[in-house]
Amino acid sequence: MSAVDAAERLERLERLADEPDPARRRMRALALLADRLAEEGIVPILVGGAALEHYTAGGYATKDVDLALPNAPEVDAAFADLGFDKEGRYWFREDLDLLFEAPAPAGLPGEDAQRQVVEVDGLPVEIIGLEDLILDRFRAYVHRRSDEDLRWARRLVGLYSDRLDRDYLRAKTAARPAEAAALADLLGEAR
């Protein structure tokens, strides 16, 4: 069920033009979108670079918002209700410098991963869990040799070393020897 009515939601969205912090503007817009999608029983999950930006408190910066969402007419309607235009799988509001990618490509973590819920302007926003975000970046390194993704996986492990669910990480990589070995190295660096 939605927390705000349609008129208030649009008013709050339009006020984002005065928000000088682009990351904050994106999160506030996401909260309003999530509130609108709650009317449809749909929960957007923040994944990708914007999730990394959240967990690194702005250490990583992105310009778009990746969401794990179903490809459904209700999603299109929610974005349209908030004044977004659509091009392919992207929704944008040029006047607010907002770009959302949804649905994110099928199979992205977030759809069935652990999640964190944060409150933004009194509204809940669900974000891919820390461990699954680490796994996402880590796997980009293992399978595509992306040094940049390894750097961010290391950063996350370093920032959150004291609260990581290491057993969860190990269980998620146990069936893939290359991942398991590389994870052991990554976790060993954080001790």
pLDDT 10s digits, 102-160:
865 555 545 566 889 999 999 999 999 999 999 999 899 999 999 999 999 999 999 99
Q: Quickly state the pLDDT bin for 189 (edges 50, 70, 90).
A: confident
Closest CA to 88 of 102, 77, 75: 102
Average of per-residue pLDDT across 68-95? 94
Using CA atoms, how far residue 28 sits from 9, 19, 55, 169, 175, in Å, is 11, 9, 16, 30, 39
**38: buried, middle or exposed (CB in 10 Å: 19+, 13-18, 0-12)?**
middle
Q: Quickly state the pLDDT bin for 29 (edges 50, 70, 90).
A: very high
What number does CATH give the domain 6-128?
A: 3.30.460
The residue ranges of every structural domain in the chain are 6-128, 131-189
